Amino acid sequence: MKLYLLVEGISSEMQAYPVWLKYFVPALTHHDGFEAFKSADEGFHLISGHGYPSIITHINNAAEDVNDIGDVDYFFVILDCDEDEVDVRKALVEDELVKYAFPDRVNVEVIIQNRCFESLLLANRKAIPRQPTSKRLIDYVRYYDVVENDPEAMGHFNEDFNHAQFHAEYANKALREKRIRYTKSNCGDVATNEYIQEIDKRINDTNHLQSFEAFIKQLKTIHQKINSK
């Protein structure tokens, strides 16, 4: 089984997704280099689309890679919806993907994160202080309690933020109080089995994070396929 993933971010997704993917599909090897992935019998490979809208233009190179490799089973395109609706951003990607012909074996999957990577981080209930101490975080929790409510459905607090900016601000403040180190360039503390396990538990226990749940369901299906062979 071989998976090729085109992700939006330059840093966070490129650090966290290899760990998180291995959590759900432990049998797959992460191949950092393209040539190693191309020659391998199994595994997964990630490339960055260098943000939005740059990722849309990177679909061309990714499609050429998938066709060049020849034995890719899943081609994932993963990006944030930011200020768009999920369906709008997904349609934009699908309109680009229909320009390319893929081998019959390739399952092409579009995953739109609602709203951004930090929205996912807010879903780990253990990473959110139940009784915050900083005034700013207290204000954020009073505005929207992400422990009880779906982080994906959260607004943007006030006009100083758009949705993605506020979700990132909230996550940074919450993680800092819990002494969990996180920056875009260094997210080792969230790129762990323990962190994604709590997000998975949140999804299993609630109807929250439906956009990310679509990705996890695909990974669990892949895991089952591998185990059934």
Segment 186-195, tens digit of pLDDT = 999 999 999 9
What DSSP string runs through 6-38? EES-SSHHHHHHHHHHHHH-TTSPB--SHHHHH
Q: Residues 14, 73: one domain?
A: yes
For residues 144 and 223, state if they share a domain: no
pLDDT per residue over 116-144, tens digit each?
999 999 999 999 999 999 999 999 999 99
* 33 in the same domain as 19: yes
Q: Are residues 110 and 126 in the same domain?
A: no
Please state the rounded mean pLDDT for residues 172-184: 96
Which pair of structure tokens corresponds to residue 224? 């089952």
pLDDT tens profile 53-82 = 999 999 999 999 999 999 999 999 999 999
For residue 163, CA distances in Å to 99, 176, 212 come to 31, 20, 17
pLDDT at 39: 98
Amino acid 229: pLDDT: 78
Tell me: do 157 and 73 sit in the same domain.
no
Instruction: Say yes or no: 218 and 175 in one domain.
Output: no
Does position 12 have pLDDT exceeding 90, yes or no?
A: yes
**Order of strands, sheet of 2-7, starting from the edge strand that comes earlier in the sequence:** 43-48, 2-7, 74-80, 107-113
Both tokens of 94, joined, read: 């699908």
pTM given for the model: 0.96
Residue 130 near residue 138, CB atoms below 8 Å: no
Q: Is the domain of 224 the same as that of 200?
A: no
pLDDT of 143: 98
For residues 101 and 192, membership in a common domain is answered with: no
Q: Pick the more confident residue, 204 or 229.
A: 204
Residues 37 and 108 in one domain: yes
| Domain encompassing residue 49 | 2-114+207-228
Judgement on whether residues 44 and 17 belong to the same structural domain of the protein: yes
* Domain match, 61 and 138 both: no
β-strands 43-48, 2-7: how paired? parallel
The CATH number linked to 85 is: 3.40.50
- Total domain count, the chain: 2
